Amino acid sequence: MLDDFLFRAFLGGVGVAIVTGPLGCFVVWRRLAYFGDTLSHSALLGVALAILLEVNIMLAVFVISVLMGLALLMLRQIAPLSSDALLGLLAHSTLAIGLIALSFMTWVRVDLLGFLFGDVLAINQFDLLTIGLGGTVVLLVLKIIWRPLFAATVSPEIARAEGLRPERAEVIFMILMASVIAISMKIVGVLLITALLIIPAASARCFSKSPEQMALYSVLAGILSVIVGLQGSLTWDTPAGPSIVAALLLLFIVSTLTMPKIRSIKRKYSNDAGDGAMS
């Protein structure tokens, strides 16, 4: 079955969605959407370098993303600019340099659109292995740092005072983000990775009662959207990455519209139960 390119596409997409769900929750909680954008934009520079140095693309993207994250942490200390200005600076300059570098390499025929919007049908068995292994490692590490990272998200001061060393968890989280960008680039493309992080979490929010539940629902939302999006892409011959993002948006709209209804039904139900107890 792994020989079937369609099956590989679905498997890779679902694998990526399982990883982006929990990580995306932290992106939403910590308001890091633009940070994710910056890392993913710099991925194109990683692609250019990978082609130039003839190394694995995912590896190069991962390394560049980690370096970007570290550069950002350092610039924050020394540059007289706010975080969002720094992020914008890094995002667009690395994207530009990446595009220029690719245009110089006339000897290789680069499918630029594939990198920008994903090339899900070109996923090979090695990519699947990387997604599987890389994704498992990312999730395991996230599970280990979950408590300090979550505590630091709620209140860095409490986490620090009670000895959880949140700074360490935050640096590890940045490395996990870089890994996720590297493994999901082929599915949705450089420009759309942040959507795969944010929209499942946003759709899951209304239905969740605890952070852990939200992470789980985000995974389900991501898987559903990947399947619907890829199916749509096959049916109407649309690009895969944008189709997945469109499916995510659709799911978000549906979840937002149905939520108030569910909530009012619940309230009515609990009120009835309350009245019953009173009488």
Residues making contact with another protein (CB under 8 A): 28-29, 31, 147, 150-151, 153-155, 157-164, 201-202, 205, 208-211, 213-214
Q: How far is the CB of 158 from another protein (least distance, A)?
A: 5
Q: Can you say how many angstroms the Cα of residue 213 is from the centroid of all Cα atoms in its chain?
A: 18
We find the least distance from the C-beta atom of residue 62 to another protein, in angstroms, to be: 27
Q: Which residues contact 55 (CB under 8 A, 6 or more apart)?
A: 49
Q: Give which of 190, 172, 171 is closest to 181, Cα–Cα.
A: 190
Cα separation of 34 and 55, whole Å? 28
Q: What is the dihedral of CA 151, 152, 158, 160, to 10 degrees?
A: 120
Question: CB neighbours of 238 closer than 8 A, spacing ≥ 6?
Answer: 232
What is the C-alpha separation between 124 and 5, in angstroms, rounded?
Answer: 8
Quote the least distance from Cβ 93 to another protein, whole Å: 30
Which is nearer to another protein, 53 or 278 (by Cβ)? 278
Q: Minimal CA–CA distance to 37: which of 168, 135, 177? A: 177
Pick between residue 58 and residue 159 the one whose CB is nearest to another protein: 159
Q: Please, which residue, 7 or 269, has the CB nearer to another protein?
A: 269
Locus of tokens 């520079």? 45
Contact call for residues 94 and 181 (beta carbons, < 8 A): no
Beta carbon nearer to another protein, 21 or 98? 21
**Closest CB to another protein among residues 109, 209:** 209
Least separation, in Å, of the C-beta of 203 and another protein?
Answer: 12
Minimum CB–partner distance for residue 263 and another protein (Å): 12
Least Å from the CB of residue 133 to another protein? 30
- Of 58 and 169, nearer to another protein (C-beta) is 169
